[in-house]
Amino acid sequence: MNIPPTVCSHPRNLFFMWISNRHAKPGSLIAAVPLLILWFLWNGRNNSKYKEEKMNATRIIKRINYMLESLLKAGVLSQATRKLPVPVAVTWKKPKDGWIKLNTDGALKECGLAAGGGVTRNHLGDVSWGFYDYYGECSILEAELKAVETGLRLCWQFNLNKVWVEIDSKAAMLLCSKMDIHFSHIWREGNKVADWFATKGYMEKCFKWIHANDLHGIIRGLIRMDKLNMASIRMMKETQEEGGR
């Protein structure tokens, strides 16, 4: 099994061959390349210092190439690599005129403490209000559902009847789909505004209702990006279905 000559014709090609695929399986050709480059450079340096053998780039490349071919023929290395994720553009969609869109999100930290938050926007993408709340110890699914519950309760208090709820948890969406409300799923990358409120709830550890006029800083930038339909990039695995977060 021969390695294409264009790959090993220059150390730079070997280096870029490695960094272009960070998903190489252990024991693969790509995983071994940087180790062999470092080893033979070190070996050449030592030979130059102690054996008075002048370092020669062509000779080092030939040694690397020979070692790679030997390891491949012996079955020690393989050329298999993991499939790379596919970049997908995710955008937040405005609701129809007369509808309010409620985006919610739950946040669970490593310590097991959870919070949630949400935001409502009209057909122009303008924020009406948002909220965040702290839930303490619970699962991420519980946090997602509690955030939806809080958001819908607030919508009811403000006499909002036409509500489109959008969340980044497929499991929570399926549980809520039996209700007479329009539910949809969005990837986390398109739910950054609600995620900001959920994180805020964890940090403040309390419930707070926030009017649009009281929003400042980075959250206003995130809202404007959604309003302008600016996409965020999600690296999608081929096996990943329309679900999850």
> Which CATH number belongs to the domain containing residue 100 in this structure?
3.30.420.10
Q: Examine the domain organization and report whether 35 and 151 are in the same domain.
A: no
- pTM (two decimals): 0.59
How far apart CA 149 and CA 106 sit, in angstroms, is: 12
Residues 74 and 115 in one domain: no
Closest to 29 (Cα-Cα) out of 94, 81, 97: 81
**Which range of residues forms the domain containing residue 78?**
11-82
Residues 54 and 160 in one domain: no
Q: Calculate the CA 168 to chain-centre distance.
A: 13
Q: What is the identity of the amino acid at 235?
A: M
Q: Are residues 215 and 95 in the same domain?
A: yes
Q: Report the amino acid identity of residue 223.
A: I
Last residue of a domain, one of 82, 103, 137: 82
| pLDDT at residue number 120 | 96
Cα-to-chain-centroid distance, residue 229: 19
Last residue of a domain, one of 82, 105, 134: 82
Classify residue 245: in a domain, yes or no: no
Where is the domain boundary, 52, 82, 112? 82
For 64, the 3-state DSSP assignment is helix
Pair 147, 226 in one domain? yes
For residues 28 and 21, is the Cβ–Cβ distance under 8 A?
Answer: no
Based on the domain organization, do 123 and 33 belong to the same domain? no
- For residue 65, being part of any structural domain is answered with yes
Strands 100-108 and 163-167, by their bridges, are parallel
pLDDT of the chain along its 245 residues, tens only? 444 444 444 545 544 555 455 545 555 666 677 888 888 888 888 888 787 788 888 888 888 888 888 877 877 766 655 565 677 788 899 999 999 999 999 998 878 899 999 999 999 999 999 999 999 999 988 998 899 989 988 998 998 888 899 988 777 766 666 555 677 888 888 888 999 999 989 888 889 999 998 988 889 888 988 988 888 778 776 545 444 55
Alpha carbons within 13 angstroms on the beta-carbon side of residue 235 total 3
Same-domain pairing of 67 and 142: no
pLDDT for the residue 67: 85
135 and 56 assigned to the same domain:
no
Residue 203's contacts (CB-CB under 8 Å, 6 or more residues apart) are none
Quick check: is 117 in a domain? Answer: yes
Q: Do 101 and 179 belong to one domain?
A: yes
Rounded CA-CA distance 181/186 in Å is 16
Query: Does 186 lie in the same domain as 219?
Result: yes
Please indicate, yes or no, if residue 96 is contained in any of the structural domains. Answer: yes
Instruction: Measure Cα distances from 174 to 105, 145, 166 in Å.
Output: 15, 11, 12
Residue 4 lies in a domain: no
Same domain membership, residue 175 and residue 74: no
Residue 72 and residue 189 share a domain: no
Sequence-distant (≥ 6) Cβ neighbours of residue 94 within 8 angstroms = 101, 121, 123, 124, 125, 227
Does 184 map to a domain?
yes
Nearest to 182 by CA among 198, 202, 200, 167: 167
Does residue 218 lie in a domain region? Answer: yes
Q: How many domains does the chain have?
A: 2
Q: Identify the pLDDT of residue 97.
A: 93
d(CA 209, CA 231): 28
pLDDT at 5: 47
Q: Scanning the structure block, which residue is given the tokens 């969609």? A: 93
